Amino acid sequence: MNYRIFIDSQSGVSYAEKQFSATVGTATICKESNSVGYALYLDATCPEGFGTDSAVRIRPTDLPATGIRFMANEQYSPWWCRPTWGDDFTALPDRVYEILWQDGDHWRVLLPLCADTFKAVLRGCENGLELVVTANCAGITDCTNQPVLLYGEGDEPLKLLHNVAAEASRILHCPLRAERECHDLFNWLGWCSWDAFQIRVTHKKLLQKAAEFKEKGIPVHYAIIDDMWADVPHLAELPPDIEFGPQVCEMHASPLRDFEGDPVRFPKGMRAAVEDLKAAGIPKVGIWFPTTGYWYGLIPDSPIHNALRDVTMMGSEGRIVVKPDPTSAKAFYDTLCARAKSWGADMVKIDNQGFYNNHKNIAPIGQAASAAQSAIDAAANAHFDGALINCMGMPSECMYHRPTSAVCRCSGDFMPENRAWFSRHILQTAYNGLLQGEFYVNDWDMWWTDDGQAYKNSLCRAISGGPIYVSDTLGRSRPEVLRPVMFSDGRIARCDRSAIPTADCLMENPTASGKIFKIQNAYKSAGLIAAFNIDEENRSTAGTVSPTDAGLPNGRYAYYEHFSGACGILEAGECISLTLADNDEFRLYTFLPYDGSPVCFGNAEMFIGVGAITKEENGALSLYEGGRITFLSESPITVEGATAQETNGLLTIATVPLEFRKIVIK
């Protein structure tokens, strides 16, 4: 593609390429070829200062404005992204982070970048689309060798998206998901206090919830003490029965007095709360806090402000926040994490990461983000061995500047008992896997086990490839809903990748396409497909399911469907036809390579049943634990060590004692 360049000056005057003069500035772009296409690098000067919201705009001159069907990744809020579809580039939202379209047999991708100073996004304009480059800071006069855009093309869309992300990783020195180490804590079932208690979180209620888990035999491995625990005086003025919407508005307008528990709800302090939770049977405890200390920063001259006075400042939005430089950020986040560690905490969830408008016109966005995100990772590494959930941090300035951390939320907040929310949520989480999932273990957020859509939510978390933690309030945890996502000790079988839509779901909005919506992942050699009906009018949807949907090569496969028990053998190129009558129907398929020998699908009670198999060799299976173990075989088999065995057609289910760790098939 060819491009035309515009400089936007601080005076508000925009200058087209051929109108540049010595007093206005200059701009040039350089194309650097790579394995997927090319990267666009920008050099520009503007002596009077670039515009704060737009420094340089770059427009493709040979891309039609309309008539090309596309899928785009849109930042719709300061913190979150979601998919959008269309065929009119002029109608693109203002902050697009990736766009994919098909051109004949070819696929093409544009991926804006955020480097060490400037950030780029795509948006619609009167001529089609344009790349907007900004530093988010007044007084910047030079842009030097900034990578601002990746263009890629290829024959397979999912492979292309991966390869473009890999090229961005190389250019920005941002590790891919496979290069990041996910802490073992996220391989276990967790619980979070937010939806359970919100403003009503107390030391006493945390212990009541821990007692419920013990009574019901639910092996929660870690608990996150979420928002509203801290010493924030304004929160004490709110009535305990305040409705959710006003509560959120009030907390977002509240500053922090001290990084310690609320003196009424946590009268013995946070250390005692953490110690008592562990004594009550929850082995690990996490502490939540936002990047700003609390949502509206720090109270002037408060204990926490006095402790951090040298590394904080009054930000652009009128709140006291961390200074946007590496030294200050390191001291700020190290101090907060060290305090949490002193209470006995084992991990942190750090929220509100897309907070860089607090530094608007104070520091370039790339520099501010690099300072804060690097400091957050360093503090989590130093105090918690990297056990960190990044939250509200989907903007590109956050995503491309974390050097080590592995886990990041990929959707807005869970909304219990909200059917419309589920469709929005599953779209966000799955399609956000296409970009953020290339770099991070995507966290699909907490959920309720007694919500009307609990089983759908549990299936989503099981196939997500991310952590699994619930937020049930007192008395409402359901062990039977949790059984399919974990082993008896609380360990989860976490999938290998961040879940994404199948290739045939990319270019149509599944709430209106009339087709089933399919999410894919893998566990070792197994391909996994979860199929949903998310039609916005609750109509029947139809489609097909195949091993290649899960990224497996064309070949011969055995399959097993979790809910119906349907199983069979697919020859190369064959698929399964599927109709889902309404929004409450869903399916889970596991595909395994088949050579005629018996195939084990693992634990029949678990969604990721193959996760029960730790090793398979010469007919001997090593198991994480026993249970109802499922096999497909064209000839009769006997499972040594089974206490019972039932066979129905190709399917054999052998009941194996939990303590058995090895069985033999004959």
In the chain, the domains with their CATH numbers are 3-173 (no CATH), 179-485 (3.20.20.70), 500-665 (2.60.40.1180)
DSSP alpha helix (H) spans, 187-325: 194-197, 203-216, 233-236, 244-252, 269-279, 303-307
At 590 the pLDDT is 98
| H-run or E-run covering 349 | strand 347-351
Output the pLDDT for position 420: 87
For residue 19, the model assigns a pLDDT of: 78
Can you list the alpha helix ranges (DSSP code H) found in 232-354?
233-236, 244-252, 269-279, 303-307, 326-342
The structure tokens 């900004």 sit at: 134
pTM, 2 dp = 0.97
Q: Residue 17 has what pLDDT? A: 77
Burial of 326 per CB tally in 10 Å (0-12, 13-18, 19+): middle
For Cα atoms 131, 134, 135, give the angle at the middle one, nearest 5 degrees. 155
Contact 408, 444 (CB under 8 A): no
Distance CA 134, CA 316 (A): 17
The stretches in the chain having pLDDT less than 50 are none
CB-based contact 304:256 (threshold 8 Å): yes
pLDDT at 165 (0 to 100): 98
Q: Which residues pair with 388 in a beta bridge?
A: 348
Q: What is the 3 state secondary structure string of 471-498?
A: CCCCCCCCHHHHHHHCCCCCECCCCCCC
- Residues 37 and 31: their CA atoms lie apart, in Å, by 9
Q: Specify which residues 96 forms β-bridges with.
A: 74, 122
pLDDT of res. 666? 82
Q: Is the separation of the CB atoms in 133 and 55 below 8 Å?
A: yes
Q: Which pLDDT value is given to residue 22?
A: 66
Rounded CA gap, 321 and 309, in Å? Answer: 10
Q: What is the pLDDT of residues 278-329, one digit of tens each?
A: 999 999 999 999 999 999 999 999 999 999 999 999 999 999 999 999 999 9
- CA quadruple 122, 123, 128, 134: dihedral sign: negative
Q: State how far the Cα of 313 lies from the Cα of 224, in Å rounded to an integer.
A: 29
| Pick from 400, 355, 390, 363: nearest CA to 114 | 400
Cα–Cα distance for residue pair 188/490, rounded to 1 Å: 6
pLDDT at res. 618: 83
- Which distant-in-sequence residues (6+ apart) come within 8 Å of 180 by Cβ? 404, 405, 406, 439, 440, 441
**Residue among 186, 183, 188, 284 at smallest CA distance from 486:** 188
